[in-house]
Chains A and B, each alone.
Chain A
Amino acid sequence: MIPDVALVDNTEQRTPLVLVLDCSGSMDGEPVALLNEGLALLEQELKSDVIAAKRVRILVIQYGAHDEAVVASNWCDAMDFTAPRLEANGTTPTGAAVELALAEIEQEKQRFRQAGVAYTRPWLFLMSDGEPTDRWQHGAEQARAAEQANKVAIFPIAVGDNANIDSLGQFSSRGERGVKQLKGLQFRELFLWLSASMQVVSQSRPGAQAQLASTDGWSVVST
Protein backbone atom coordinates (compact mmCIF):
# COMPACT_ATOMS: atom_id res chain seq x y z
CA MET A 1 0.00 0.00 0.00
CA ILE A 2 1.31 3.43 -0.93
CA PRO A 3 1.38 5.69 2.17
CA ASP A 4 -0.45 9.02 2.54
CA VAL A 5 -2.68 8.61 -0.50
CA ALA A 6 -5.86 10.69 -0.47
CA LEU A 7 -8.87 8.74 -1.77
CA VAL A 8 -11.81 11.07 -2.30
CA ASP A 9 -14.53 11.31 -4.90
CA ASN A 10 -14.09 14.27 -7.25
CA THR A 11 -16.81 13.15 -9.66
CA GLU A 12 -19.21 15.77 -10.85
CA GLN A 13 -22.00 13.73 -12.36
CA ARG A 14 -25.75 14.16 -12.19
CA THR A 15 -28.77 11.99 -12.92
CA PRO A 16 -31.74 14.28 -13.60
CA LEU A 17 -35.19 13.11 -12.53
CA VAL A 18 -38.35 15.06 -13.38
CA LEU A 19 -41.67 14.17 -11.77
CA VAL A 20 -44.69 15.52 -13.63
CA LEU A 21 -47.61 14.95 -11.29
CA ASP A 22 -51.33 15.22 -11.94
CA CYS A 23 -52.88 17.33 -9.18
CA SER A 24 -56.28 17.75 -10.76
CA GLY A 25 -59.46 17.65 -8.66
CA SER A 26 -59.92 13.91 -9.13
CA MET A 27 -56.69 13.30 -7.20
CA ASP A 28 -58.14 15.00 -4.13
CA GLY A 29 -58.38 13.04 -0.90
CA GLU A 30 -56.64 9.69 -0.52
CA PRO A 31 -54.80 9.69 -3.88
CA VAL A 32 -52.94 12.95 -3.30
CA ALA A 33 -52.30 12.02 0.33
CA LEU A 34 -50.66 8.77 -0.77
CA LEU A 35 -48.78 10.58 -3.53
CA ASN A 36 -47.36 12.98 -0.92
CA GLU A 37 -46.34 10.06 1.27
CA GLY A 38 -44.61 8.51 -1.74
CA LEU A 39 -42.69 11.72 -2.40
CA ALA A 40 -41.58 11.87 1.24
CA LEU A 41 -40.39 8.29 0.95
CA LEU A 42 -38.43 9.12 -2.22
CA GLU A 43 -36.73 11.96 -0.35
CA GLN A 44 -35.83 9.69 2.54
CA GLU A 45 -34.55 6.82 0.39
CA LEU A 46 -32.38 8.95 -1.88
CA LYS A 47 -30.89 10.82 1.06
CA SER A 48 -29.93 7.53 2.70
CA ASP A 49 -27.77 6.51 -0.30
CA VAL A 50 -24.47 8.41 -0.19
CA ILE A 51 -23.85 8.41 -3.92
CA ALA A 52 -27.47 8.93 -5.05
CA ALA A 53 -27.86 11.82 -2.58
CA LYS A 54 -25.05 13.65 -4.37
CA ARG A 55 -25.87 12.72 -7.94
CA VAL A 56 -29.63 12.54 -8.40
CA ARG A 57 -31.09 15.90 -9.29
CA ILE A 58 -34.84 16.35 -8.90
CA LEU A 59 -37.48 18.67 -10.35
CA VAL A 60 -41.16 18.35 -9.46
CA ILE A 61 -43.85 19.81 -11.73
CA GLN A 62 -47.50 19.72 -10.76
CA TYR A 63 -50.41 20.34 -13.05
CA GLY A 64 -54.01 21.16 -12.22
CA ALA A 65 -55.87 24.32 -11.20
CA HIS A 66 -57.10 26.24 -14.25
CA ASP A 67 -55.02 24.36 -16.80
CA GLU A 68 -51.81 25.38 -15.05
CA ALA A 69 -48.48 23.59 -14.95
CA VAL A 70 -46.06 24.92 -12.34
CA VAL A 71 -42.76 23.98 -10.73
CA ALA A 72 -43.63 22.62 -7.28
CA SER A 73 -40.01 21.98 -6.32
CA ASN A 74 -37.17 23.46 -8.33
CA TRP A 75 -34.05 21.54 -9.45
CA CYS A 76 -31.98 20.43 -6.49
CA ASP A 77 -29.62 17.62 -5.55
CA ALA A 78 -31.37 14.78 -3.72
CA MET A 79 -29.48 15.65 -0.54
CA ASP A 80 -31.21 19.07 -0.56
CA PHE A 81 -34.62 17.83 -1.69
CA THR A 82 -37.64 18.41 0.51
CA ALA A 83 -40.75 16.65 -0.75
CA PRO A 84 -43.45 19.22 -1.54
CA ARG A 85 -46.95 18.86 -0.05
CA LEU A 86 -49.14 18.80 -3.13
CA GLU A 87 -52.79 19.76 -3.16
CA ALA A 88 -55.24 18.60 -5.76
CA ASN A 89 -57.84 20.67 -7.60
CA GLY A 90 -58.80 21.75 -11.08
CA THR A 91 -58.17 20.41 -14.56
CA THR A 92 -55.57 18.22 -16.28
CA PRO A 93 -53.22 20.23 -18.56
CA THR A 94 -50.94 17.30 -19.37
CA GLY A 95 -49.56 18.88 -22.55
CA ALA A 96 -48.47 22.11 -20.87
CA ALA A 97 -46.91 20.16 -18.00
CA VAL A 98 -44.83 18.00 -20.33
CA GLU A 99 -43.76 21.00 -22.45
CA LEU A 100 -42.60 22.72 -19.26
CA ALA A 101 -40.72 19.59 -18.18
CA LEU A 102 -38.94 19.21 -21.53
CA ALA A 103 -37.93 22.88 -21.54
CA GLU A 104 -36.64 22.58 -17.98
CA ILE A 105 -34.61 19.52 -18.92
CA GLU A 106 -32.92 21.28 -21.83
CA GLN A 107 -32.12 24.30 -19.65
CA GLU A 108 -30.67 22.09 -16.97
CA LYS A 109 -28.51 20.25 -19.52
CA GLN A 110 -27.30 23.61 -20.76
CA ARG A 111 -26.25 24.53 -17.21
CA PHE A 112 -24.49 21.16 -16.82
CA ARG A 113 -22.57 21.71 -20.03
CA GLN A 114 -21.56 25.23 -19.04
CA ALA A 115 -20.31 23.95 -15.68
CA GLY A 116 -18.59 20.93 -17.23
CA VAL A 117 -20.77 18.52 -15.27
CA ALA A 118 -21.34 15.09 -16.82
CA TYR A 119 -24.86 13.69 -16.70
CA THR A 120 -26.88 10.61 -17.47
CA ARG A 121 -30.06 10.55 -19.55
CA PRO A 122 -32.84 12.40 -17.73
CA TRP A 123 -35.88 10.45 -16.59
CA LEU A 124 -39.31 12.01 -16.92
CA PHE A 125 -42.10 10.45 -14.87
CA LEU A 126 -45.50 11.51 -16.16
CA MET A 127 -48.30 10.54 -13.79
CA SER A 128 -51.99 11.08 -14.53
CA ASP A 129 -55.33 9.79 -13.29
CA GLY A 130 -57.47 11.31 -16.00
CA GLU A 131 -57.93 12.84 -19.39
CA PRO A 132 -55.87 15.77 -20.67
CA THR A 133 -57.93 18.95 -20.75
CA ASP A 134 -55.56 21.19 -22.69
CA ARG A 135 -54.30 21.10 -26.26
CA TRP A 136 -51.96 18.28 -25.33
CA GLN A 137 -51.11 16.86 -28.75
CA HIS A 138 -48.24 19.30 -29.31
CA GLY A 139 -46.68 18.39 -25.97
CA ALA A 140 -47.09 14.70 -26.77
CA GLU A 141 -45.42 15.15 -30.15
CA GLN A 142 -42.51 16.97 -28.51
CA ALA A 143 -42.21 14.21 -25.92
CA ARG A 144 -42.07 11.45 -28.52
CA ALA A 145 -39.51 13.36 -30.59
CA ALA A 146 -37.36 14.04 -27.52
CA GLU A 147 -37.44 10.40 -26.52
CA GLN A 148 -36.66 9.23 -30.04
CA ALA A 149 -33.71 11.62 -30.12
CA ASN A 150 -32.49 10.01 -26.88
CA LYS A 151 -32.83 13.32 -25.03
CA VAL A 152 -34.91 11.84 -22.24
CA ALA A 153 -36.50 8.59 -21.04
CA ILE A 154 -40.24 8.98 -20.47
CA PHE A 155 -42.30 6.81 -18.12
CA PRO A 156 -46.04 7.50 -18.30
CA ILE A 157 -47.90 6.11 -15.27
CA ALA A 158 -51.68 5.69 -15.30
CA VAL A 159 -53.39 5.98 -11.94
CA GLY A 160 -56.87 4.53 -11.39
CA ASP A 161 -59.49 3.39 -13.88
CA ASN A 162 -60.18 6.75 -15.43
CA ALA A 163 -56.70 7.49 -16.73
CA ASN A 164 -56.70 7.73 -20.49
CA ILE A 165 -54.09 5.17 -21.52
CA ASP A 166 -54.35 6.12 -25.16
CA SER A 167 -53.43 9.76 -24.64
CA LEU A 168 -50.76 8.92 -22.05
CA GLY A 169 -49.26 6.51 -24.56
CA GLN A 170 -48.88 9.33 -27.04
CA PHE A 171 -46.31 10.90 -24.70
CA SER A 172 -44.10 7.82 -25.10
CA SER A 173 -42.13 6.74 -28.16
CA ARG A 174 -43.35 3.23 -27.32
CA GLY A 175 -47.01 4.24 -27.38
CA GLU A 176 -49.43 2.46 -25.05
CA ARG A 177 -46.82 -0.24 -24.44
CA GLY A 178 -44.79 2.42 -22.69
CA VAL A 179 -47.55 3.15 -20.18
CA LYS A 180 -47.52 1.49 -16.76
CA GLN A 181 -50.75 1.14 -14.84
CA LEU A 182 -50.28 1.74 -11.12
CA LYS A 183 -51.70 -1.05 -8.97
CA GLY A 184 -54.40 0.57 -6.88
CA LEU A 185 -52.83 3.53 -5.16
CA GLN A 186 -49.45 1.91 -4.52
CA PHE A 187 -47.46 5.12 -4.69
CA ARG A 188 -45.27 3.82 -1.90
CA GLU A 189 -44.08 0.86 -3.99
CA LEU A 190 -43.73 3.08 -7.07
CA PHE A 191 -41.47 5.56 -5.29
CA LEU A 192 -39.42 2.81 -3.63
CA TRP A 193 -38.80 1.38 -7.09
CA LEU A 194 -37.98 4.81 -8.46
CA SER A 195 -35.53 5.46 -5.67
CA ALA A 196 -33.83 2.08 -6.16
CA SER A 197 -33.64 2.67 -9.92
CA MET A 198 -32.15 6.12 -9.44
CA GLN A 199 -29.52 4.64 -7.15
CA VAL A 200 -28.55 2.20 -9.90
CA VAL A 201 -28.60 4.72 -12.75
CA SER A 202 -26.69 7.40 -10.82
CA GLN A 203 -23.83 4.96 -10.30
CA SER A 204 -23.89 3.40 -13.73
CA ARG A 205 -20.70 3.45 -15.75
CA PRO A 206 -20.27 3.48 -19.51
CA GLY A 207 -21.14 0.26 -21.24
CA ALA A 208 -22.77 -1.28 -18.22
CA GLN A 209 -26.48 -1.57 -18.71
CA ALA A 210 -28.27 -0.48 -15.58
CA GLN A 211 -29.90 -3.52 -13.98
CA LEU A 212 -33.26 -2.23 -12.81
CA ALA A 213 -35.66 -4.09 -10.58
CA SER A 214 -38.91 -5.37 -12.03
CA THR A 215 -41.87 -3.01 -11.82
CA ASP A 216 -44.16 -5.84 -10.69
CA GLY A 217 -44.26 -4.42 -7.16
CA TRP A 218 -46.35 -1.46 -8.22
CA SER A 219 -47.42 -1.99 -11.80
CA VAL A 220 -50.25 -4.12 -13.08
CA VAL A 221 -48.74 -6.89 -15.15
CA SER A 222 -50.05 -6.67 -18.67
CA THR A 223 -51.19 -9.96 -20.06
Chain B
Amino acid sequence: MAAVQATQDSWRTFGASVTGKAHLDKDIPCQDAHAHAVVGDVLVAIVCDGAGSARLSEQGAQFVSAQTVQALAGRLEQGATVQDLHDGALAGTLAQIRAALGDIARAANATLDDYAATVVGVVMGQDIGFFFHLGDGLGVAQLGDGGELISLPANGEYANETYFISGERWREQLRLLPIPQSVRGVVLMSDGCMPFAMSKNNAALYAPFMDAVQGYLRTVESIELGNTALASTLADPRTHQITGDDKTLLLALRA
Protein backbone atom coordinates (compact mmCIF):
# COMPACT_ATOMS: atom_id res chain seq x y z
CA MET B 1 0.00 0.00 0.00
CA ALA B 2 1.33 3.40 -0.88
CA ALA B 3 0.54 5.84 1.88
CA VAL B 4 1.94 8.91 0.18
CA GLN B 5 1.20 11.22 3.04
CA ALA B 6 0.44 10.21 6.59
CA THR B 7 -3.27 9.66 6.86
CA GLN B 8 -4.78 12.59 8.61
CA ASP B 9 -7.65 12.60 11.01
CA SER B 10 -10.29 13.23 8.38
CA TRP B 11 -10.24 9.67 7.03
CA ARG B 12 -9.48 6.23 8.44
CA THR B 13 -8.61 3.99 5.51
CA PHE B 14 -8.27 0.21 5.61
CA GLY B 15 -7.35 -2.13 2.80
CA ALA B 16 -6.40 -5.72 2.11
CA SER B 17 -5.58 -7.72 -1.03
CA VAL B 18 -5.79 -11.47 -0.58
CA THR B 19 -4.74 -14.19 -3.02
CA GLY B 20 -7.65 -16.27 -4.33
CA LYS B 21 -7.95 -20.03 -3.94
CA ALA B 22 -7.44 -20.66 -7.66
CA HIS B 23 -4.19 -18.68 -7.57
CA LEU B 24 -3.02 -20.31 -4.33
CA ASP B 25 -3.55 -23.75 -5.88
CA LYS B 26 -1.48 -22.84 -8.94
CA ASP B 27 1.12 -20.85 -7.05
CA ILE B 28 0.18 -17.67 -8.91
CA PRO B 29 0.76 -14.37 -7.05
CA CYS B 30 -2.04 -12.06 -6.01
CA GLN B 31 -2.84 -9.93 -9.05
CA ASP B 32 -4.87 -7.36 -7.12
CA ALA B 33 -3.34 -4.22 -5.65
CA HIS B 34 -4.61 -1.16 -3.82
CA ALA B 35 -3.28 2.20 -2.67
CA HIS B 36 -4.52 5.40 -1.08
CA ALA B 37 -3.44 8.82 0.13
CA VAL B 38 -5.01 11.76 1.89
CA VAL B 39 -4.12 15.33 0.96
CA GLY B 40 -5.68 17.85 3.29
CA ASP B 41 -9.24 16.63 3.47
CA VAL B 42 -9.21 14.86 0.13
CA LEU B 43 -9.03 11.09 -0.13
CA VAL B 44 -7.48 9.45 -3.19
CA ALA B 45 -7.88 5.67 -3.32
CA ILE B 46 -7.65 2.97 -5.96
CA VAL B 47 -8.05 -0.77 -6.48
CA CYS B 48 -6.51 -2.51 -9.51
CA ASP B 49 -7.15 -6.08 -10.62
CA GLY B 50 -4.53 -7.61 -12.90
CA ALA B 51 -5.92 -9.79 -15.69
CA GLY B 52 -5.61 -13.51 -15.05
CA SER B 53 -4.65 -14.03 -18.68
CA ALA B 54 -1.79 -11.50 -18.62
CA ARG B 55 1.57 -12.80 -17.48
CA LEU B 56 2.83 -9.70 -15.64
CA SER B 57 -0.50 -8.35 -14.52
CA GLU B 58 0.42 -8.32 -10.81
CA GLN B 59 3.17 -5.82 -11.69
CA GLY B 60 0.69 -3.85 -13.79
CA ALA B 61 -1.81 -3.66 -10.92
CA GLN B 62 0.86 -2.61 -8.44
CA PHE B 63 2.38 0.00 -10.73
CA VAL B 64 -0.90 1.54 -11.80
CA SER B 65 -2.35 1.69 -8.29
CA ALA B 66 0.76 3.14 -6.61
CA GLN B 67 1.60 5.58 -9.40
CA THR B 68 -1.93 6.85 -9.87
CA VAL B 69 -2.35 7.65 -6.20
CA GLN B 70 1.04 9.30 -6.05
CA ALA B 71 0.41 11.40 -9.15
CA LEU B 72 -3.08 12.50 -8.09
CA ALA B 73 -1.88 13.33 -4.58
CA GLY B 74 0.93 15.35 -6.15
CA ARG B 75 -1.53 17.37 -8.24
CA LEU B 76 -3.67 18.06 -5.18
CA GLU B 77 -0.61 19.18 -3.24
CA GLN B 78 0.22 21.57 -6.07
CA GLY B 79 -3.18 23.17 -5.69
CA ALA B 80 -5.43 21.27 -8.07
CA THR B 81 -9.02 20.94 -6.89
CA VAL B 82 -11.23 17.85 -6.98
CA GLN B 83 -13.05 19.51 -9.86
CA ASP B 84 -9.78 20.02 -11.76
CA LEU B 85 -9.01 16.34 -11.47
CA HIS B 86 -12.50 15.45 -12.65
CA ASP B 87 -12.33 17.86 -15.58
CA GLY B 88 -9.28 16.39 -17.25
CA ALA B 89 -6.33 16.05 -14.92
CA LEU B 90 -7.36 12.50 -13.99
CA ALA B 91 -7.48 11.35 -17.60
CA GLY B 92 -4.16 13.07 -18.25
CA THR B 93 -2.61 11.35 -15.26
CA LEU B 94 -3.83 7.94 -16.38
CA ALA B 95 -2.46 8.62 -19.87
CA GLN B 96 0.98 9.36 -18.38
CA ILE B 97 0.91 6.26 -16.22
CA ARG B 98 -0.16 4.12 -19.15
CA ALA B 99 2.71 5.57 -21.19
CA ALA B 100 5.16 4.86 -18.34
CA LEU B 101 3.86 1.30 -18.19
CA GLY B 102 4.48 1.04 -21.92
CA ASP B 103 8.13 2.06 -21.32
CA ILE B 104 8.47 -0.61 -18.64
CA ALA B 105 7.00 -3.17 -21.00
CA ARG B 106 9.41 -2.29 -23.80
CA ALA B 107 12.38 -2.44 -21.43
CA ALA B 108 11.24 -5.90 -20.33
CA ASN B 109 10.64 -7.10 -23.90
CA ALA B 110 6.98 -7.43 -23.07
CA THR B 111 3.81 -5.77 -24.32
CA LEU B 112 1.44 -3.43 -22.56
CA ASP B 113 -1.17 -6.18 -22.62
CA ASP B 114 1.11 -8.32 -20.44
CA TYR B 115 0.42 -5.79 -17.66
CA ALA B 116 -3.36 -5.62 -18.16
CA ALA B 117 -5.23 -4.36 -15.10
CA THR B 118 -8.61 -2.86 -14.31
CA VAL B 119 -8.97 0.38 -12.35
CA VAL B 120 -11.59 1.51 -9.88
CA GLY B 121 -10.71 4.61 -7.88
CA VAL B 122 -12.12 7.56 -6.03
CA VAL B 123 -11.23 11.17 -5.29
CA MET B 124 -13.36 12.45 -2.42
CA GLY B 125 -13.29 15.88 -0.79
CA GLN B 126 -15.50 17.51 1.83
CA ASP B 127 -18.71 17.55 -0.19
CA ILE B 128 -17.71 16.72 -3.72
CA GLY B 129 -15.87 13.87 -5.32
CA PHE B 130 -15.95 11.31 -8.13
CA PHE B 131 -15.25 7.72 -9.00
CA PHE B 132 -13.00 6.85 -11.94
CA HIS B 133 -13.46 3.41 -13.38
CA LEU B 134 -12.04 1.25 -16.17
CA GLY B 135 -13.41 -2.27 -16.45
CA ASP B 136 -14.80 -4.23 -13.55
CA GLY B 137 -14.51 -3.96 -9.80
CA LEU B 138 -16.93 -1.71 -7.97
CA GLY B 139 -17.07 1.47 -5.89
CA VAL B 140 -19.71 2.56 -3.36
CA ALA B 141 -20.07 5.99 -1.80
CA GLN B 142 -22.06 5.88 1.42
CA LEU B 143 -23.76 9.25 1.19
CA GLY B 144 -24.38 11.63 4.05
CA ASP B 145 -28.12 11.33 3.49
CA GLY B 146 -28.02 7.55 3.97
CA GLY B 147 -28.14 6.52 0.31
CA GLU B 148 -25.49 4.73 -1.71
CA LEU B 149 -23.97 5.83 -5.00
CA ILE B 150 -22.50 2.90 -6.90
CA SER B 151 -19.92 2.85 -9.68
CA LEU B 152 -20.76 -0.42 -11.38
CA PRO B 153 -18.43 -2.78 -13.26
CA ALA B 154 -18.39 -2.60 -17.07
CA ASN B 155 -17.93 -5.97 -18.65
CA GLY B 156 -19.14 -5.59 -22.19
CA GLU B 157 -21.73 -8.22 -22.93
CA TYR B 158 -20.19 -11.14 -21.06
CA ALA B 159 -19.51 -11.46 -17.36
CA ASN B 160 -16.11 -13.06 -17.92
CA GLU B 161 -14.77 -10.33 -20.20
CA THR B 162 -13.81 -6.80 -19.25
CA TYR B 163 -11.67 -3.74 -20.09
CA PHE B 164 -8.17 -2.85 -18.98
CA ILE B 165 -6.00 0.26 -18.82
CA SER B 166 -3.70 -1.48 -21.30
CA GLY B 167 -6.50 -1.57 -23.90
CA GLU B 168 -6.23 0.68 -26.93
CA ARG B 169 -9.69 2.11 -26.35
CA TRP B 170 -9.13 2.83 -22.66
CA ARG B 171 -10.14 6.48 -22.96
CA GLU B 172 -13.60 5.59 -24.29
CA GLN B 173 -13.94 2.97 -21.59
CA LEU B 174 -12.91 5.29 -18.75
CA ARG B 175 -15.98 6.30 -16.77
CA LEU B 176 -16.28 9.13 -14.24
CA LEU B 177 -19.16 9.23 -11.77
CA PRO B 178 -19.55 12.44 -9.77
CA ILE B 179 -20.32 12.20 -6.05
CA PRO B 180 -22.24 15.43 -5.39
CA GLN B 181 -22.45 15.44 -1.59
CA SER B 182 -20.54 14.52 1.55
CA VAL B 183 -20.05 10.87 2.38
CA ARG B 184 -19.79 8.75 5.53
CA GLY B 185 -17.52 6.32 3.81
CA VAL B 186 -16.25 4.99 0.50
CA VAL B 187 -15.76 1.34 -0.39
CA LEU B 188 -13.72 0.05 -3.34
CA MET B 189 -13.46 -3.62 -4.25
CA SER B 190 -12.11 -5.95 -6.91
CA ASP B 191 -14.58 -8.31 -8.57
CA GLY B 192 -13.49 -11.15 -6.29
CA CYS B 193 -15.25 -9.46 -3.36
CA MET B 194 -18.41 -8.51 -5.21
CA PRO B 195 -20.29 -11.83 -4.71
CA PHE B 196 -20.28 -11.49 -0.90
CA ALA B 197 -19.77 -7.75 -0.30
CA MET B 198 -22.64 -6.74 -2.62
CA SER B 199 -26.25 -7.87 -2.63
CA LYS B 200 -27.83 -9.48 -5.68
CA ASN B 201 -27.26 -7.63 -8.97
CA ASN B 202 -24.86 -5.29 -7.16
CA ALA B 203 -27.86 -3.25 -6.04
CA ALA B 204 -26.35 -2.25 -2.69
CA LEU B 205 -23.67 -3.17 -0.18
CA TYR B 206 -24.62 -6.51 1.39
CA ALA B 207 -25.44 -5.48 4.95
CA PRO B 208 -24.84 -8.86 6.69
CA PHE B 209 -21.25 -8.61 5.46
CA MET B 210 -20.55 -4.90 5.33
CA ASP B 211 -22.21 -3.82 8.60
CA ALA B 212 -20.07 -6.30 10.52
CA VAL B 213 -16.90 -5.20 8.73
CA GLN B 214 -17.48 -1.47 9.10
CA GLY B 215 -18.76 -1.84 12.66
CA TYR B 216 -15.53 -3.57 13.59
CA LEU B 217 -13.28 -1.14 11.73
CA ARG B 218 -14.95 1.93 13.24
CA THR B 219 -13.86 0.85 16.70
CA VAL B 220 -10.62 -1.00 16.04
CA GLU B 221 -7.63 0.45 17.89
CA SER B 222 -5.26 0.88 14.99
CA ILE B 223 -5.23 0.82 11.21
CA GLU B 224 -2.74 -2.09 11.31
CA LEU B 225 -5.03 -4.23 13.46
CA GLY B 226 -7.93 -3.39 11.20
CA ASN B 227 -5.97 -4.31 8.06
CA THR B 228 -4.91 -7.63 9.56
CA ALA B 229 -8.47 -8.52 10.58
CA LEU B 230 -9.76 -7.50 7.15
CA ALA B 231 -7.16 -9.67 5.40
CA SER B 232 -8.07 -12.69 7.59
CA THR B 233 -11.74 -12.21 6.83
CA LEU B 234 -11.09 -12.05 3.07
CA ALA B 235 -8.96 -15.20 3.36
CA ASP B 236 -11.72 -17.08 5.24
CA PRO B 237 -12.07 -20.58 3.71
CA ARG B 238 -15.81 -19.92 3.35
CA THR B 239 -14.95 -17.53 0.52
CA HIS B 240 -13.39 -20.43 -1.40
CA GLN B 241 -16.87 -21.81 -1.99
CA ILE B 242 -17.80 -18.48 -3.56
CA THR B 243 -14.84 -17.46 -5.69
CA GLY B 244 -11.38 -18.63 -6.68
CA ASP B 245 -10.39 -15.06 -7.54
CA ASP B 246 -8.14 -12.60 -5.69
CA LYS B 247 -10.07 -10.38 -3.28
CA THR B 248 -9.39 -6.73 -2.50
CA LEU B 249 -11.43 -4.50 -0.27
CA LEU B 250 -10.58 -0.90 0.57
CA LEU B 251 -12.73 1.02 3.06
CA ALA B 252 -12.29 4.70 3.85
CA LEU B 253 -14.36 5.93 6.76
CA ARG B 254 -14.95 9.53 7.69
CA ALA B 255 -13.50 10.01 11.13
Contact = CB atoms under 8 A, between A and B. Distances in A.
Interface in A120-150: 120-121, 150
Interface residues of A, number: 30
B201 interface: yes
A2 to B, nearest CB: 4
Interface in A192-207: 201, 203-207
Contact of B213 (A2, A121, A203, A204): A2
B58 interface: no
B159 A7 contact: no
Interface string A1-21: 111111111111100000000
A209 B53 CA distance: 6
A10 B198 contact: yes
B64 to A, nearest CB: 14
A12 B203 CA distance: 12
B52 A209 contact: yes
Interface string B207-227: 011001100110000000000
A1 B160 contact: no
Contacts of B213: 2, 5
Interface string B37-57: 000000000000111111001
Given A207-B53, A208-B51, A120 B158 contact: yes
B161 A9 contact: no
Interface residues of B, number: 47
A116 interface: yes
A206 B51 contact: yes
A209 B135 CA distance: 16
Interface in B187-212: 191-192, 194-196, 198-201, 206, 208-209, 212
Contact of B54 (A203, A205, A207): A207
Contact of A50 (B191, B239, B241, B245): B241
17 contacts: A2-B233, A5-B209, A5-B213, A6-B212, A8-B242, A10-B198, A12-B201, A117-B201, A120-B159, A201-B160, A205-B52, A205-B191, A205-B243, A206-B51, A206-B118, A206-B162, A207-B162
Given A13-B159, A206-B136, 17 more contacts: A4-B212, A7-B196, A7-B242, A8-B206, A9-B195, A9-B242, A12-B200, A117-B201, A118-B159, A120-B158, A205-B243, A206-B51, A206-B159, A206-B161, A207-B50, A207-B53, A209-B53
